[in-house]
Copies of this chain bind each other. A is one copy, B any other.
């Protein structure tokens, strides 16, 4: 039986058009990180499962992780996310390096998902993290990086918004206002997380099951209705927890980022890392209401390695959701064709060596040159060159061979120019 030609379920074959699109995303990610002085890192594809067990949710370990026992009896997993890896790596060096530590990566990750729009089993994720920044400043910078990245693709506050919250505010609401115990608080956290994803009825049912008093229900309902930083300040009414967020919002405003921000009481993110600010970036387009980026502040990621606490702030942004976002807003160029500087053709076997020699010389001058490898009929040259996105075509006919010259055609202007093969510099200049 013939083998299947399909890729493994939930993964993608990146044919050149798709790969050029992905490279476009990666290039902007890397460029944006460098704009802020973030340094690149990467970690292994496999980590020991214990690393995820220590910090990620049980759901991840039980249902979503690709794990197996290796030939040396180690229980390992294909990395489903980069945060545990970056924490492990920072734990090795944080005592010796200058702070803040600013790192980024673009890594392939796998989760055992049911494939659906915006969610695949294999995806690539851009991660930026800052460790050891002064209080509140890492948060500002990480949000700036996220905004700058989307700005770099041509997106602005008309296209996306940053919904943010602070885990300290949620904790304050649960502990100080609702006065519920930890067990109930954990359940309520999950309810908050689900609040915008389920129907009003389902939400009410979940709350009913908790057995809150009327007063508690009223406070919780008020909390879920908060819709702006102004609302929030009233709700918190001068409590200590209300001092940090206004300072942060002020700084974002002074830097001109307020139009991007929206307070959202339902943003809590996963329960395992975050201890401070949390955020998710949403597409404003009605057809694509998925978060395309998320992140937040964590106080003690290094604890599992017995290291002293080191506060951090991070973001993660996946290639699948980003691509959906850019597509729906028409922010992508076409990746159908490659780009080449020159398409070198020849029409006779005798012209092959001179043609290939010219290609060699031009490549050593950093020109991207694609050649035919056998004589090509004249009428086939230009369609072939166009498919390869060539800016120029070189034609080696009999006459040119005799003259030791080559005929160039500019594919845009259609102008033709004959240049001598003995003056490579002139050819390079012409083609640049």
Contact = CB atoms under 8 A, between A and B. Distances in A.
Nearest to A303: B2
B251 A353 contact: yes
Copy count, this protein chain: 2
B108 A45 contact: yes
B122 A369 contact: no
A211 interface: no
A2 B20 CA distance: 43
Interface residues of A, number: 90
A237 interface: no
A7 B79 CA distance: 12
A370 B36 contact: yes
Given A7-B44, A42-B19, A360-B256, A112 B71 contact: yes
Given A36-B369, A45-B110, A45-B122, 20 more contacts: A3-B50, A3-B304, A7-B43, A11-B44, A12-B44, A13-B89, A14-B40, A20-B39, A23-B40, A37-B371, A37-B388, A39-B338, A45-B45, A45-B108, A46-B122, A108-B108, A138-B373, A144-B360, A255-B356, A256-B360
Interface of A: 2-5, 7-9, 11-16, 19-20, 22-23, 34-37, 39-48, 50-51, 54, 66, 68, 70-72, 74, 76, 78, 88-89, 91-93, 98, 100, 102-103, 108, 110, 112, 122, 133-134, 137-138, 140-141, 144, 148, 151, 251, 254-256, 304-306, 338, 340, 353, 356-357, 360, 363-364, 366-371, 373-374, 384, 387-388
